[in-house]
Every structure is written in structure tokens, then in C-alpha cells.
């Protein structure tokens, strides 16, 4: 799985590819497939904290965090999540979203929704159906967006993030990115056809393996 993620990150051609890990087995695979390796402490509370440690000594401006369980990530999505930084030099963070296509996804608490402001920045992320369609008409009238868990950070902000205090909404929703909004930092949300199958369960793994085998 890590090998496929590395190959797709390299295909995006947006910069050097690093793997941050505390596991020697993962590090060995990463080196075999041409990625640099940053060995990190094993006791981080989140992947973002691990990323911050790994990038502390790396000379860069923007850091894209591609999760190791995304073997089907589209290289174009990796490019897209970095795009907002080209136009906004004060931006702290960016992520992706795509239109929700079904009422079942809109009402599913495992599908995270996001609402944006006029600049395309996140107003709020929620597991609840937002924006709620007060008048009848289904989800089409409210134009909801599903959040895609791919993030990019200004390095300066990434190093600040681990020191930010957790907030109540983050804990209630179990959504780490709400801490960023709570403390007044901006998250740009680039919307497009960025749906992707992550691997969170054995069933997801079987689906991903089938797609990879038929496309290779």
C-alpha cells in the first residue's frame, strides 16, 4: 500500500516525497521505492504532529500530507490541494471537497461535510448534514460538499499546529481540523471531482486491490 501511495505522490510532480514513520519496515519499503525517510518518535497523538516533527528540518514552504492508506489517491488531487497557496500567501492550510451525490451520504455521520465562505475558505466541518435544506427539495438545492481528507500546510503554520489547544467542537465532532478554525486560521477548500477510496477496513482493502489489479 505504501508503495502505491509513494508512486502516486511522485506522479504529482509537486516536490520531493518523504515518508514520516516510526516503523523500520515501512522505512525500508519507502527507500526501496525512491522516497526520502524521516524517522519520528512513536508517541505522537496525530499524524499532523508526526508530520510537523518530520518537516521541522526540511527546507520547504508548503507541505502536502498524503495519508499512507490512500493507495488510489489521484495525483491531480495532490496538485489541486496545493493550488490555493499560489494565490494566497497568507493562507495557513488547504484541503479538498467534492459534491455529495446522494441523500444517504448527506445524512451519513461517517461522511464529513464542509461549508465554505465567499473566498472558498471553510466556515465549518461537520458530520451532520450541512447546510441543512430547510425547504423541501433534497440535497441538490443546498449544494453540499463532502470533505476529502487530503491536507496541505504552510510549513510555518504546520510547526505551530501541535501547540494549539484542542477545542470543544473538535472533540464533540471528532474532527481535528476544527481546531484550526477555532484558533482563527484559514483553511482553503478546493472543490472538484476528488472522490477517492481510502483503506480503513478489510473490505476497503479488497476493493482497492481489485481496482489496482484491473488498472495495471
pLDDT grade for 70, boundaries at 50, 70 and 90 = confident
What is the residue whose three cell numbers read 495525483? 75
Average pLDDT, stretch 22-47? 93
Residue 151: its H or E element:
strand 145-154
Mean pLDDT of the chain: 89
So where are the chain's domains?
A: 61-215
What's the pLDDT tens digit per position in 73-107? 899 999 999 999 998 999 999 999 999 988 899 99
Nearest C-alpha neighbor of 198 from the set 188, 213, 211, 187: 211
What's the pLDDT tens digit per position in 110-167? 899 999 999 999 999 999 999 988 876 655 556 899 999 899 999 999 999 999 999 9
- R_g of the chain computed on alpha carbons: 18
* pLDDT the model gives residue 137: 62
Residue 38 CB burial class (10 angstroms; 0-12, 13-18, ≥19): buried
pLDDT tops 60 at residue 216 = no
Domain 61-215 falls in which CATH fold?
Answer: Spore Coat Polysaccharide Biosynthesis Protein SpsA; Chain A (3.90.550)
Put simply, whether the predicted model's pTM sits higher than 0.85 gets the answer yes
CA distance 58 to 12: 19
Choice between 198 and 168, residue whose per-residue pLDDT is larger: 168
Average pLDDT, stretch 159-178? 95
Nearest C-alpha neighbor of 52 from the set 44, 3, 178: 44
Amino acid at each position: 500500500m505504501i508503495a502505491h501511495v509513494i508512486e502516486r505522490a511522485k506522479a504529482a510532480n509537486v516536490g520531493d516525497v518523504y515518508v514520516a514513520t516510526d516503523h523500520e519496515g515501512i522505512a525500508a519499503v519507502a527507500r526501496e521505492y525512491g522516497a526520502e525517510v524521516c524517522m519520528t518518535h512513536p508517541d505522537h497523538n496525530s499524524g499532523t504532529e508526526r508530520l510537523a516533527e518530520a518537516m521541522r528540518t526540511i527546507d520547504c514552504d508548503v507541505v502536502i500530507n498524503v495519508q499512507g492508506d490512500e493507495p488510489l489517491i489521484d495525483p491531480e488531487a495532490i496538485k489541486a490541494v496545493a493550488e490555493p497557496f499560489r494565490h494566497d500567501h497568507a493562507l495557513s492550510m488547504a484541503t479538498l471537497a467534492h459534491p455529495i451525490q446522494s441523500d444517504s451520504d448527506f445524512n451519513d455521520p461517517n461522511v464529513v461535510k464542509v461549508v465554505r465562505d465567499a473566498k472558498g475558505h471553510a466556515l465549518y466541518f461537520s458530520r451532520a448534514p450541512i447546510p441543512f435544506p430547510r425547504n423541501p427539495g433534497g440535497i441538490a438545492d443546498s449544494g453540499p460538499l463532502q470533505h476529502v481528507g487530503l491536507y496541505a500546510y504552510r510549513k510555518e503554520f504546520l510547526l505551530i499546529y501541535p501547540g494549539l489547544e484542542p477545542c470543544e467542537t473538535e472533540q464533540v465532532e471528532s474532527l481535528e481540523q476544527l481546531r484550526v478554525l477555532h484558533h482563527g486560521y484559514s483553511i482553503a477548500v478546493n472543490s472538484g471531482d476528488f472522490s477517492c477510496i481510502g483503506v480503513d477496513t478489510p473490505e476497503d482493502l479488497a476493493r482497492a486491490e481489485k481496482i489496482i489489479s484491473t488498472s495495471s
